[in-house]
Structure 1
Amino acid sequence: MNSSIFGTNESEDPWENGWASSQPLASSTSTPFGGGGGAASGLLASSSILHDTHTGGGTSSILGDSSVLAHPAGLDASSSSTTPYNVPASYTALYEKLATISTSTQLDQHFFNPLIAAELLTSFQKSKILDVIFDHNLLPANNSNKFYQILGLLALELDVPGSGDFVSLQFHLNNLPDFPESAISAFNGDSEREHETGRSGPAALVSPSASTYFADPLNAQLANTSISEDDHHGGRSSLVVDPILTDHTSIQRKQSDVGAASKSTSDIDGPSDVRELNSYVNEIRDTFHPLSASPKKTVRIKEVPEKEGLLFKHINYNITHDLNLGLQCPAGSKKVIRRYSDFVWLLEFLLKKYPFRVIPGLPPKKFTVGSSPDSQFLQKRRRGLYRFLNQLVKHPVLVQEPVVVTFLSVPTDLATWRKQAKVDYSLEFKGLKISTHFINSIWPAIGDEFLKDWQKSEQDVTKLIEVWTKIVLLVERYEKRQQQISYDNGKFVEMLHKFQDLNGSIYPNSVEQSRIIGGTNQDDISSMNDSLGSISNFFNKSSQLLIDESYTINTTILEKFKNYLDYLYSLQELFERSKKLSINNIPQLQNRIQENEKKYAKISTDDADIKGSELAKLRQVIINDKQEIFQQLNRDWLIKECCFREFVMFQETQYLVGEMWIEWSQGRFKFQEKFGALQESLNGQVSVDMPYGR
């Protein structure tokens, strides 16, 4: 299976290694169907990936370099007498009792079967350890050196499930974990005492020395090859419906029962853990600052019309900014010319590479064929592109993408650049492994809460978008009303001037017009016209005041309302993408592994001549399927972590709501202050000068 969501070829598989290779394994011996392996076989053990922080060799255990790791302490699998340093006393005691073991059947009888019967080991863990034993020639086990290495593999697996591989063994030769009492009791057949002390079952998988960290969730899932009804629903069918949240959340729940190596929910609720989690969440939120920035930290855009041909023309956009985009971008002011089609290509690229991020959307490109672009539509589209770019550069991950940096800083024509450049469309998770800190510490503490928050948000975001869309429409309507009032004020001025010009006809105000009436009206009509002039002046000033307020609302406040709406749409689209792109077939792979394991066991008991080739084929198929499960589990955890981080960062957008309403309120207050001052001045003038009696 291809681990990339978007169908990149098999050679680009980020986890391609010996497990998925079609080449034969290093050992020619037909071994059981475990997925483990060490340095010599070229198989990268999952414990090396997930527990690199717990191995003495640091990152070397991830590399699996047999030339470096095979003999770090002078201990060779084939050596006959060298004994590793610091062998625990329990090892020597067991060797004295079981030194005659030489075959895999005897290993089953004296080691694996008792541990499986006591529920300290699973069948998968057994097959994995046997695989390592065969691959590294640790049989016959009657040699003390080989015996101690086999005991070391078992002890490591019991201490931390998933760590019983050859590479981990080599790094722990000088500090091998002791066997827990429950395991020694199982060897001695004293299973009753195990149950009395409460050390049987999953709780005995680890020793007290492992109590400071969790068992490996991925290996625990791999170890459980049986699929219960609860597994199919992820143990949370009543909580969530999104595949990203339902597939494998049961992994952590299963681990919550693992003895001292696991922490219960009540343990995680301690004050120090709460502070650590709050610090973790706050660090994520601190990386995202969606509030309006200073002009120097803002991308500016304006239209540059350019004619092409006789019938059509397209709009270029002049993009300027002073952003520091890292080492890939030169310092100082940058200017590039881009077309709308360049924006569309950039969005398509981001959706392919970062599908589990909150990615801003673009305004539509809709022109009636053959008609001239509507200026109002062009203005709205330019503002939409402005919001797109500024949301993009505020995202802590997307702004560091080299393609985004190129889009904003390389002045060459983007279409020409795309033909020459090798753009990597592969998923951002390519080659990454999930953080053990996240799956072992963070997720157990916040997983349930996050799943509920994610589900509730997914259910309500559509309703919230509908409500906020209506708010945006009301703000637009308010802004249009202000424009209409400004227009009406202008009409007031025009009509008052006409009234002043005509009122002398019906109200004679000079002796030339009428000797008797004109003389009595002269002072009153003159005062009235002066007051009407003051009213006209009031309407003129208030009209300009309304125009200024309308401009402020239209260019700043309304854009912030739309900016927040864009964020809501981006979150809604993330929910939709997560449903479509986080699908996996892990249950089907587990079923197929079970069937092939049964076939393997059946063929192993037959005497047919073709048994060897059939076993080799089946073994490779099973190993490939287990590796595929591991890849998919790793990818699912990476998606969970990514979506969690995006959801946490999105919490910062709540302050956009506060910012826009504060600015709206302050703007209205300032407008009312100015308008009140005009009204007060008018009232003083009219009250004094306007005649209302002889």
Structure 2
Amino acid sequence: MSNSIYQTSDPWENGWATENNTTNQPSHSSTVSPLPVYGQGSSYLTSSQLLNTTNIDNDDDEENTISLSNVPESYLKVHSALSEQLSTVNDLESLVFARLIQLDFVTNYQKSKILDIIYDHNLLPLTIENNFYQVLGLIALEIDVPGSGDYVTLQFRLNNLPQLPSKFVDAVVNGSGDSDFIDPLNARLAKSSLVEDEPVKLSDPILADHSSAGLINNDNIVNRPDPVDNSYITKHVNSIRDTFKPLINANDLIKIKEVPEKEGLLFKHINYIITHDLVLGMNGHGGTKKVIRRYSDFVWLLEFLLQKYPFRVIPGLPPKKFSVGSSPDSQFLQRRRRGLHRFLNQLVKHPVLKQEPVVITFLSVPTDIQTWRKQAKIDNSIEFKGEKISTNFINLIWPKIGEEFLQNWQGAEKSINKLIEIWTKTVLLVERYEKRQQQISYDNGKFVEMINNFKSLNTKLYPNENKVLLGENSTKDDINLINDSLGYISEFFNKSSQTLIDDSYSINTIILEKFKNYLDYLYSLQELFERTKRLSINTIDQLEKRIRENEAKYNKSSTEDADVKGADLAKLRQVIINDKQEIFQQLNRDWLIKNCCFEEFLMFQETQYLISELWIDWSKGRFKFQEKLFGLHENLNNEIANDMPTTR
């Protein structure tokens, strides 16, 4: 049955039965299990391995196995160091990818892409040497040329894979890198030659209280006021949350569709028509707006937003997918279009990002973006450049909510990875449910075909005109009554098949998109946590120490050392002033980051209602579906219960 949706020769396979089809393989296998055909094409982790299953046995299909030779020396070193510790994908993430990300060899997006390939192409379990070497090969290819860490390139270069970076190999072999790394979100001081002799204080620098740092001209904006009434804080919190409404049913405002491929100089490319009726910006006008953008335009927009709004929750993009010599398949293009649709709608629901002039231009100006970029003066500086923190925030709001917010922020950061893992598995289950609906619909079509064929031949087996068999005076025509009822059964399968198709379409285009939409928000928050760690570092504590030392030196020199020249004192005094000005700038930025993260975390609380929305819609959809099926079964029972003869 080659036209099954699972592309398998087994007409009864539903994607679940394969979970127990496992064998124990030797740890020094020289072959790689071929690609499992079910579960292909998912934009998420769609392998049954995700549900704690083991490698699928394909030993019978020896023609599809792949030999890996010429293993690079760096792979052998890493395998030797980790073979006793690495057995699951979680181990791979903590022991390999965590170090790679820490050393800036790969990004989280690259990690996710490689994990997709590992699951989709069944490079599991990792206890098989050949599987682990291929995983390292994907990583090395991605590091060597970003974007080339794909399964096709891996197979072409199995015998000529690049070495892993020596810095990473040394970190794995020697166990270095962990203790030397200071997370700027979890360590108070940045590493500096000025503080090498001081112990690192474990706290949270981006959200830590630097109110002890005085500002120049005695303009101390961090004096603590009298206690503030809680109603003021509640009003402030609610005003922030009210600006963000992420529910899909209420305001899914932008539509996007593909347009036919166009020939470029070398390759074909796909354009997207974006349509909406939004009034964007202060001077925006109403009416329908339509612009055409390429995927590369979306990538540029995302890079711009990450540069200008690093402390905001920025939605992510679906992958581009690298394909050599052929166009991307239509299923992938549909998933990518839906991912772009989610990206745009999440973008315009954000109260800050939707006001960005570049976003407004992207969504409303029909000019080609690449041409516009060459002519426009684009401000890439961080969003709060030149802005001074509100004294209300640091004097009234932060003293009330600072400690609690810090605890909530850290708790969310610790749980986000596990939540993403759980929700990814949930998305997988919804995808598999939809695929089973398709398989049942296909089987119903086969029922119709078999019943009709049976009806066309059974009168030969049960002749209805032979007087010898039926009797001279018989007027009953039982086989035709049976065939009439078989016709009702065939009609039932036709109608139930259409009901299943409608339900599968609803799941795939509506319900599943809402599950993925929430997953996108989880990933966006995770990325915010990681950017905050990387970009929030400051040197306020070191500057304070240096100011104290220089002030003591200045006082001693000006009162006790008569030989000190006036120019030297003036120079030292200017150094002190410059350091105080730098403290002012860093302290102001520190508070602006606090405020920004606080607002984003508050707005993110609104996404909890996406969970309610999607499960309510799922429940309503299942109820309507079961109601339709029940009606079909009831009608069938009424049609055949009394009409099909069971005796002469």
User: What's the TM-score once normalised by structure 1's chain length?
Assistant: 0.62
Q: How many residues align?
A: 448
Cross-structure match for 1:161: none
Match of 2:234 among 271, 278, 294: 278
Cα 1:521–1:427 shift into 2, 3 Å: farther
Cα 1:636–1:607 shift into 2, 3 Å: closer
Residue 652 in structure 1 maps to residue 606 in structure 2: yes
Cα 1:555–1:693 shift into 2, 3 Å: same
Tell whether the 8 Å contact from 1:486 to 1:544 is kept in structure 2 after alignment: yes
Cα 1:433–1:309 shift into 2, 3 Å: closer
Match of 1:437 among 374, 392, 402: 392
Match for 2:235: what amino acid?
A: S
Cross-structure match for 1:523: 477
Percent identical across equivalent pairs?
70
Cross-structure match for 1:674: 628
What value does the CA root-mean-square deviation take over the aligned residues? 2.5
Match of 1:412 among 367, 386, 402: 367
Tell whether the 8 Å contact from 2:557 to 2:564 is kept in structure 1 after alignment: no
For 2:330 and 2:267, the matched residues in 1 are separated by 15
For 1:283 and 1:690, the matched residues in 2 are separated by 68
Tell whether the 8 Å contact from 2:558 to 2:564 is kept in structure 1 after alignment: no
Residue 511 in structure 1 maps to residue 466 in structure 2: yes
Match of 1:537 among 464, 487, 491: 491
Name the SS for the 1:462 alignment partner. Answer: helix
Match of 1:243 among 192, 205, 211: 205
Tell whether the 8 Å contact from 1:510 to 1:518 is kept in structure 2 after alignment: no
User: Post-superposition shift, 1:560?
Assistant: 0.3
Match of 1:481 among 425, 436, 445: 436
For 2:471 and 2:449, the matched residues in 1 are separated by 28
Cross-structure match for 2:246: 290
Deviations 1:284-315 (A, max 9, x none): 110000001457x6111000123215862000
Cα 1:523–1:642 shift into 2, 3 Å: same
For 2:520 and 2:617, the matched residues in 1 are separated by 19
Match of 2:590 among 624, 636, 647: 636
Match of 1:598 among 526, 543, 552: 552
Match for 1:245: what amino acid?
A: L
Deviations 1:130-170 (A, max 9, x none): xxxxxxxxxxxxxxxxxxxxxxxxxxxxxxxxxxxxxxxxx
For 2:209 and 2:373, the matched residues in 1 are separated by 38
Cα 1:520–1:503 shift into 2, 3 Å: farther
Match of 1:304 among 259, 268, 271: 259
Deviations 1:344-378 (A, max 9, x none): 00000000000000000000011312112111110
For 1:555 and 1:250, the matched residues in 2 are separated by 54
Tell whether the 8 Å contact from 1:335 to 1:411 is kept in structure 2 after alignment: yes
For 1:511 and 1:250, the matched residues in 2 are separated by 108
Cα 1:230–1:328 shift into 2, 3 Å: farther
Cross-structure match for 2:5: none
Tell whether the 8 Å contact from 1:231 to 1:250 is kept in structure 2 after alignment: no
For 1:368 and 1:521, the matched residues in 2 are separated by 69
Residue 564 in structure 1 maps to residue 526 in structure 2: no
Deviations 1:646-678 (A, max 9, x none): 000000000000000000000111111111111
Tell whether the 8 Å contact from 2:225 to 2:395 is kept in structure 1 after alignment: no
Cα 1:498–1:545 shift into 2, 3 Å: same
Cross-structure match for 2:638: 684
Cα 1:441–1:517 shift into 2, 3 Å: farther
Name the SS for the 2:206 alignment partner. Answer: helix
Cα 1:262–1:419 shift into 2, 3 Å: closer
User: What's the TM-score once normalised by structure 2's chain length?
Assistant: 0.66
Listed as ranges, the matches of 1:422-433 within 5 Å are 422-433=377-388
Name the SS for the 1:411 alignment partner. Answer: coil
For 1:368 and 1:243, the matched residues in 2 are separated by 44
User: Post-superposition shift, 1:232?
Assistant: 6.2
Residue 353 in structure 1 maps to residue 353 in structure 2: no
Cα 1:249–1:685 shift into 2, 3 Å: farther
For 2:475 and 2:390, the matched residues in 1 are separated by 92
For 1:425 and 1:518, the matched residues in 2 are separated by 97
For 2:386 and 2:199, the matched residues in 1 are separated by 27
**Greater C-alpha radius of gyration:** 1
Cross-structure match for 2:574: 620
Cα 1:576–1:250 shift into 2, 3 Å: farther
Name the SS for the 1:688 alignment partner. Answer: coil
Deviations 1:495-551 (A, max 9, x none): 110111111121111238x65479869521111111111111111111101111111
Match of 2:565 among 611, 614, 625: 611
Residue 321 in structure 1 maps to residue 321 in structure 2: no
User: Post-superposition shift, 1:390?
Assistant: 0.2
Deviations 1:187-246 (A, max 9, x none): xxxxxxxxxxxxxxxxxxxxxxxxxxxxxxxxxxxxxxx99x99963xxx3xx5x53124
Cα 1:284–1:231 shift into 2, 3 Å: farther
Name the SS for the 1:669 alignment partner. Answer: helix
Match of 2:323 among 365, 368, 371: 368
Tell whether the 8 Å contact from 1:507 to 1:518 is kept in structure 2 after alignment: no
Cross-structure match for 1:584: 538
Cα 1:565–1:345 shift into 2, 3 Å: same
For 1:358 and 1:516, the matched residues in 2 are separated by 80
For 1:262 and 1:230, the matched residues in 2 are separated by 29
Name the SS for the 2:477 alignment partner. Answer: helix
User: Post-superposition shift, 1:251?
Assistant: 7.3
Cross-structure match for 1:190: none
For 2:275 and 2:296, the matched residues in 1 are separated by 18
Name the SS for the 2:641 alignment partner. Answer: helix
User: Post-superposition shift, 1:330?
Assistant: 3.0
Listed as ranges, the matches of 1:252-263 within 5 Å are 262=224
Listed as ranges, the matches of 1:18-167 within 5 Å are none
User: Post-superposition shift, 1:593?
Assistant: 1.1
For 2:444 and 2:360, the matched residues in 1 are separated by 49
Tell whether the 8 Å contact from 1:290 to 1:652 is kept in structure 2 after alignment: yes
Cross-structure match for 2:422: 467
Match for 2:466: what amino acid?
A: V
User: Post-superposition shift, 1:274?
Assistant: 2.0
For 1:290 and 1:408, the matched residues in 2 are separated by 19
For 2:242 and 2:507, the matched residues in 1 are separated by 29
Cα 1:282–1:307 shift into 2, 3 Å: same
Match for 1:677: what amino acid?
A: G
Tell whether the 8 Å contact from 2:307 to 2:380 is kept in structure 1 after alignment: yes
For 1:518 and 1:472, the matched residues in 2 are separated by 66
Name the SS for the 1:423 alignment partner. Answer: coil
User: Post-superposition shift, 1:606?
Assistant: 4.8
Name the SS for the 2:259 alignment partner. Answer: strand
